[in-house]
Each structure stands twice: as C-alpha cells, then as structure tokens.
Amino acid sequence: MSKIQPGGGYGFTSGGYGFSINTNQPFDLTPSSDGPLVPHLNDNKVTITPGTVNRYIPQISSVYIDATTPPQITVTGEGYILVGVTYEVNKFFPRTAEIAFVSGATVPADTNTTAYYPLAKINSPGGGVFSMVRLSSMGNLIVNRLKAGASTATWYWDIIN
C-alpha cells in the first residue's frame, strides 16, 4: 500500500519494481479554497468565503460576506484585498471588520486607530486581465491592539482554523 498520494504539482506511481515521482509541474502554493476568508477572483470581481474576525463576520460595502447573495469587490488595477479593523473606545477587541480593495504597491500602514491584514495581492499584467496571489494561510482571524501611554499602537493578528 502506497503512503504517498498524488497531489498538486506532482504525480506518484509505484509498482513491484519501485516507484517514481513526477515533479514537472511546480507545486501549487495557493491555500485551500475550502477555508474561511479565502478570496476568489473571477474577471475583475472578488468574493470572499465566509469567515470571522474576532468572531464577527466582516462586511464588504456594508453587506456581510455570508449574505445569501455574497457581496463582491470590483478590482480596478494592481493592489491588495485587505481586512481592515478600527479601534473602538473602551473595547478590548475591534468588533467590526471591512474587506476592501486598496490600489497601490504597498499595504497601508497601521495607525493608532486602524489596522490592515492583506488577504491577497492583485496583479494586472495589462489589457484588463487580473491575477491574484493569496498571501497567507487562510483561516478565521483574531486581531488585538496594544497601546501604552503616548506610544504608537501595535496591532497583533493571528490565524485560527
């Protein structure tokens, strides 16, 4: 019985005289599309599989991502699909999250009141064609903010599956 199974980017065959592994195609490093908060690109529209940030469901343009008709993000060029959270006074965790497209070559910097977590990088090779690179192991997210005195806030993100 074989303990190696074929997978993304390789093939495996075995017989009475040995085995062979075919690695002619590179491994697919894209995280599974079955998990939470996974972006999916179709032409210039992105949808996100339902998931949570601090146990709350994020929104896209004020529509929750688990709506019967999932909201979409329109991609207009190179940039990032981000989860953004905003600090709320006297709250330990941010209680709301917004997922959006932000154009540009870099992720916006965190501030004392907002933080961003990139889910995907959108590339535009030209001609209105877009491609996407998922940036992290997808899962539900936890975020927390630490600020002491006059120092700048530090944001901590973690993935939970």
Give which of 38, 123, 118, 45 is closest to 82, Cα–Cα. 118
Beta bridge pairs of residue 11 = 22
Q: Are residues 21 and 67 in the same domain?
A: no
Which pLDDT score is estimated for 126?
Answer: 76
**How many independent structural domains does the chain possess?**
2
Mean pLDDT of 80-93: 91
DSSP state string for 12-47: EEEETTEEEEE--SPP--PPPTTSTT-EEEETTEEE
Q: Are residues 35 and 25 in the same domain?
A: no
Query: Rounded to two decimals, what is the model's pTM?
Result: 0.76
For the chain, what is the mean pLDDT? 84
**Domain limits for position 144:** 31-160
Mean pLDDT of 102-121: 94
Residue 28 in this model has a pLDDT that exceeds 80: no
Residue 27 in this model has a pLDDT that exceeds 70: no
User: Distance between CA 63 and CA 66 in Å, rounded?
Assistant: 8
Q: Are residues 122 and 145 in the same domain?
A: yes
What share of the chain in percent tops pLDDT 90? Answer: 57
